[in-house]
Amino acid sequence: MKYIVYCRKSTDEKTKQVLSIESQIEELKQFARKEDLEVVDYITESKTAKTPGRQQFNKIIDLIENEKIDGIVSWHPDRLARNSIDGGRIIYLLDTGKLKDLKFPTLQFDNSPQGKFMLSIAFGQSKYYVDNLSENVKRGNRHKLKLGIWPNKAPLGYRNDRNTKTIKVNKKESVIVKKAFQLFAKGNQSFTRIANFMFAYGITKNDGQPLHINQIRRMLTRTFYVGIIRYGGEVYQASHPCFIGKSLFVKVQQQIHYKDRHHCNRANHDFKLTGLIKCKECGAGITAEQHTKHYKRTKRKATYIYYRCTKKAGPCHQPYISKNNLVSQLTKSIHDVALPPSWTIKWRSWLKRDEAKAKKKVCFSISKQKQELETIDQKLDTLLDLHLDQGIDSRGYKKKKNQLFNKKLKTQDKITKIKTNGSHWLEPFNQFIKDAIIASKTCLPAGTVARKENMDSNLKQIAQSVGSNFFLQDKKLIINYKKPFASLRVTACTRAKNPEISESLLCVTPRGIEPRFVG
């Protein structure tokens, strides 16, 4: 009979210490000589047998079905199959007589009903090993996820710590990743530019080429960087340290959302203010177009940008508006809600004062809840001692223990909520002050035109911070200011008439982050 030797090794079997392919070949050569077998070929494969589809194994099956070989020599039945389909094919070929014999140094096989029954058991054991290994991996992953540990390869900016089996920050790589987030958040960077930036600092694909734009997009949208793990359709609170702030992450998502909505070829023109304003008459978006005018007398040409309604919602009679006019109106609108420099120190002192008060209150509340936890733990210990001394039966012990444990969980939840929401109003109030100060520093005086290359982007970002629902009607810009800035807008006329208005006339309610002015 003619035999063919099949050797297989897969990477998921390292812990089982299966012989390497070279060792299998050497062992099977000696076995073939000892058994006086006619071997026509040696076929090797480095692929798992958990699922069907092995190319070299299928090649052997074809040779058997075409009756070009009579038997197979392999180290163990699990080298041939670890799944029910491939194992069934082997047994079926034995049943039909096309496969006449199997030889294993580690298992005695006889082509008889009893031998095929024992072979099917060996295949079943191999499948059980794979299934059990998979379940153990899943169970280990579930345990890691409950602890907030990412079970797979660490994303860019992080590394897998083999000693602690946790995720650590890659100090060098994390700096580059954070800078990439900051660059993209500015709004004037593409995925390709970010990939080239990271390539310049040594972050590449496995082949040394720049990261693909899809990899950049996945990186910029991964909630992993802000402490939220998404795995298998579920969400978990992560335990690894984060080097990307939530506010920065939100800005990046806004930029990605904007790019998705305004992805089109605009002849390489980048009109920064598009996507911000809508037409008041028909509700359609405002687009922009560039025109070049040639002056024959001076042989000069000039480029002008105009904004107009797209008219996609139907007929519209609104006229176009020049970029200079639009920028001037937008600048003035932001200038009206800019925080006067003379008030900055006072507002910051209020914020610092309230932060101290909130911190003190949070510490007191947490201390009180921790005392409650200690009391519950003491009661649980006392209850256990009473149960061990047979002072209370098992039914009564379980009932009381469950009551105390549920109370403990509720107390722990209270502590978490206090830490999260104890001073939740301070962050938006702090951001409000920052935006108002930035508005005063960035905006040009009313009536002037911004000429810096990135001024349009700055204006757009500030405008989105101070207002919403921007409309154009009859070449006039209409803005709905957000609540804190609406209060500042109320005093615009007063400040215009009396620039030296005293900060002592200012009354603010920071918890509502709605400043009110009197005077």
Residues 229 and 115 in one domain: no
pLDDT at 409: 81
Residue type, 206: N
pLDDT at 512: 38
pLDDT at 53: 87
Q: At what angle do helices 84-96 and 113-146 cross, to 10 degrees?
A: 170
Q: What is the pLDDT along the chain (519 residues), one digit of tens a residue?
A: 899 999 988 765 544 445 788 888 988 999 999 999 999 999 999 888 888 888 999 999 999 999 899 999 998 898 898 888 988 999 999 999 999 999 999 888 888 888 889 888 888 888 888 777 777 777 788 788 888 888 889 999 999 998 888 899 999 999 999 999 999 998 878 899 999 999 999 999 988 899 999 999 999 999 999 888 888 767 788 889 999 998 899 999 988 887 776 554 444 455 778 888 899 999 888 888 888 888 888 878 888 889 999 888 888 989 999 988 988 888 888 777 776 666 666 767 777 777 777 778 888 888 888 899 899 889 888 888 887 787 888 788 778 877 887 888 888 878 877 776 655 555 555 666 666 666 655 544 444 443 444 555 567 777 777 788 889 999 999 888 877 676 666 555 555 555 554 444 444 443 433 444 433
Residues 23 and 49 in one domain: yes
Residues 118 and 10 in one domain: yes
Residues 67 and 194 in one domain: no
Residue type, 199: F
- Residue 508 in domain: no
Residues 174 and 84 in one domain: no
* Dihedral (Cα; 156, 157, 162, 163), 10-degree rounding: -170
β-bridge mates for residue 467, sequence order: 481
CA pair distance 22, 236, nearest whole angstrom: 44
- Residue 328 in domain: no
Domain final residue, candidates 243, 261, 279: 261
- Residue 475 in domain: no
- Residue 60 in domain: yes
CA pair distance 337, 348, nearest whole angstrom: 17
Provide the pairing of β-strand 476-481 with 300-309: unpaired
CA pair distance 129, 123, nearest whole angstrom: 10
Residues 113 and 163 in one domain: no
- CATH, residue 15: 3.40.50.1390
Residues 197 and 254 in one domain: yes
CA pair distance 237, 146, nearest whole angstrom: 8
pLDDT at 335: 75
Residues 44 and 172 in one domain: no
- Residue 327 in domain: no
DSSP 445: P
- Residue 461 in domain: no
pLDDT at 495: 52
- Residue 352 in domain: yes
CA pair distance 232, 373, nearest whole angstrom: 34
pLDDT digits (tens, 9 = 90+) for 202-250: 999 988 899 999 999 999 999 999 888 888 767 788 889 999 998 899 9
> What's the domain count of the chain?
3
pLDDT at 73: 93
Residues 93 and 134 in one domain: yes
- CATH, residue 219: 3.90.1750.20
Residue 297 is encoded by which pair of tokens? 């007398």
Reference 74, options 111, 36, 130, 29; nearest CA is 29
Residues 14 and 133 in one domain: yes
Cβ neighbours for 176, distance < 8 A, ≥ 6 positions apart = 157, 198, 201, 203
- Residue 399 in domain: yes
pLDDT at 106: 87
Domain final residue, candidates 261, 293, 317: 261
Residues 165 and 256 in one domain: yes
Domain final residue, candidates 392, 408, 425: 425
Domain that holds residue 56: 2-143
DSSP 107: B
Q: Considering the chain, what is the average pLDDT of its residues? A: 80
Residues 177 and 87 in one domain: no
